Structure 1
């Protein structure tokens, strides 16, 4: 699909260019016979002749518009005023749908600084547009990786590949070049401190699953293992059915004639998977850039994925550390709340014992009055014995008969902290 001039004008100005072939629907005004036909009027001033140009009426549709900013310029100014982020929430859905196309056009306009990147995407509130700084790695100047003309001392992984019968499913026409590319890439990444290992190079998955097949070799950078596959491109041509295919298709309904024929090409493709992608996930031979010129980007991509993995590892460690600190603080707070709850319960138990003792004292007094009215004898003696024990019991039950002390808090069990830890697990921050 090619962007036409009319389409580019619409993206830049928000309207289509004026059509010169259109007519306004009114007849042209003919010049009066008394008006001069020349563009200028000659007047005599003494002995001199002065040529003046009569003023022309201005028309809003005549001539180019001066000073009007394009949609891209307006967008960049709006982003600068908003701090680099805006969200388009036009009432008309059709108006909002124009912004993805305008963002693409703005990227192609060449008006975005090289140190900035324009991103756009849908969000809950509308279409979000952001102008962010270009990552330093994208602006870095990469040193080309030299590819040897022939292998004298191949890398151990390459040497292992050379010993296989049909490594990586490549034909002989591209196999030697693939070895040299892999050797150059592994040598450069080894100098950067990365390690390499052989994968399953003798496998050749179907064409529709080539990128998801097992890796031919791996490169590990800062603990992040990247899986690499070297694939041979295929040329596709329209299939010309044979007489037998036509006859079989006419005879049997299940016969399907292929639409295209595929043949192995001399172009290669390198796919990288594993880790966080930065530049891309695949690099292929093109007419303008062979893979030899792209090895530096592949090596940088492996290093960037390793750096991202290390950054994530450190971030995860820091997050786990902070989480443990928050859990420990929550556990200490839970222990304090547990102790406070224990004291409250102890106080309430003492209050209940005091009220019970007060009630029993009144009852024991009533018993004594009753016993005093009994005649001397065994019944009165048993009543007095019972009253003596009751008074002793009430004496022990009343907390005010002793010295009030702060209760000793027992060491809480793990499950005792569950009601007080507020969403955390008492067994640890990871449970």
Structure 2
């Protein structure tokens, strides 16, 4: 029987587990479902250490990844054995150094290698019994790794903040955004839906979010804004088909017509967008819970999306700034090169003029030395020699006290040949 094909997300997570610089652990709860799916297929294992699990590939997982991405196959075994050896060496160094090893400002590749060794030491149970590992400087500065006695400190998890929804609330007490919201549900569900929106508005404002009824490009019931990110929320009500006896004239007739009736099951959803693939976007009434129970999860998802979008904007800004700096450097280099070319050309013209003046003077000297003109023509020859000497003096830069030439007037188009593909007007490729 052929193995089940992995989807793109599962393949990406398996690749990270096998070859990623950062270990895949329970710290990243977003990957938990995918890791469990890979584990159920025997492609990865999850080892418990220091109060958390960490994922490691099995041989079957390495083979599956090699089948999907053959370019990674040759280094798999070597990479795993190298990391295991580095983990054992790390524990040995810690014991010899009295429990602390400091690596002074390592580069990103070296820092990632030490993190992999830390992860392998925990996952392979190389840490001496009754001790635990701690480290600081994960991303910058000195990396300090410490082997401490005792159990690892418990990981603090933030409490699940509740969003209390009142059982009854007079219309005049509703949050203005909830009172004015457009809610496309049946009349019987309107009071409950507005109480839910009221609770969401209060909880959002407690977190310093902004709530409103409309967004420029959306017709949602409520819009929650965090920094520069806005998230419209849409209310829906389920429906069900029931027999429709309205068309039956006689009691003995069979009812065959069907009609749709509201199910009174409410659902809130975030706008679907490809900017957040694989993220949950719907929360609603089910047999085991109500929509009210899922409001904290909805707010957490909004906060996660806002953080993701903020990170993307910052990354884009950093990228644009890096591009701008490269462009500015290219523009400066282009100006420098153009000025150098201008000076070189000026120097060449001066040297050529000096050489010509020197040759002209030598020619005049030769004329004087070899003059055989008659008295009638001597006056004309001497006049020619005088003019030639004056001409040599006019073109000779030596008599003009040459100095460093002023830079030329530079236009953007003058710089284009020196920019190697950059636009001379803005920081982008031409």
Q: Given that residues 233 and 267 in structure 1 are in contact (C-alpha distance below 8 angstroms), is that contact kept between their aligned partners in structure 2? A: yes
Q: Given that residues 353 and 395 in structure 2 are in contact (C-alpha distance below 8 angstroms), is that contact kept between their aligned partners in structure 1? A: yes
Q: Does residue 217 of structure 1 match 2:222?
A: yes
Aligned twin of 1:332: 332
Of the candidates 136, 147, 151, which is equivalent to residue 165 of structure 2?
147
Q: Does residue 283 of structure 1 match 2:283?
A: yes
Matches of residues 11-410 of structure 1 in structure 2 within 5 Å? 79=17, 103=38, 105-106=40-41, 140-152=158-170, 153-161=173-181, 167-199=182-214, 214-235=219-240, 262-273=260-271, 276-277=275-276, 279-361=279-361, 364=364, 372-377=371-376, 380-400=378-398, 403=401, 405-410=403-408
Across the two proteins, how many residue pairs are aligned to each other?
307
Residue 294 of structure 1: SS of its match in structure 2? helix
Displacement, 1:260?
A: 8.7
In structure 1, distance between residues paired with 2:72 and 2:241:
39
In structure 1, distance between residues paired with 2:260 and 2:56:
39
TM-score, normalised with respect to structure 1: 0.57
Bigger radius of gyration among the two? 1
Residue 270 of structure 1: SS of its match in structure 2? strand
| Structure 1 alignment gaps of length 5 or more | 1-5, 12-74, 87-98, 134-138, 162-166, 201-211, 244-258
| Structure 2 alignment gaps of length 5 or more | 5-12, 25-33, 77-115, 120-156, 249-256
TM-score, normalised with respect to structure 2: 0.57
In structure 2, distance between residues paired with 1:191 and 1:390:
94
Q: 1:194 to 1:79 in 2, by over 3 A?
A: closer
Q: Which of 1 and 2 has higher RCO (CA within 8 Å, sep 6+)? A: 1
Q: Given that residues 106 and 112 in structure 1 are in contact (C-alpha distance below 8 angstroms), is that contact kept between their aligned partners in structure 2? A: no
In structure 1, distance between residues paired with 2:212 and 2:373:
106
Aligned twin of 1:47: none
Residue 269 of structure 2: SS of its match in structure 1? strand
Q: 1:360 to 1:109 in 2, by over 3 A?
A: closer
**Which protein has the bigger helix share?**
2
In structure 2, distance between residues paired with 1:100 and 1:157:
41
CA-to-aligned-CA distance 1:228-287 (integer Å, 9 cap, x gap): 1101122357999x99xxxxxxxxxxxxxxx99644221111111278538412212211
Residue 169 of structure 1: SS of its match in structure 2? coil
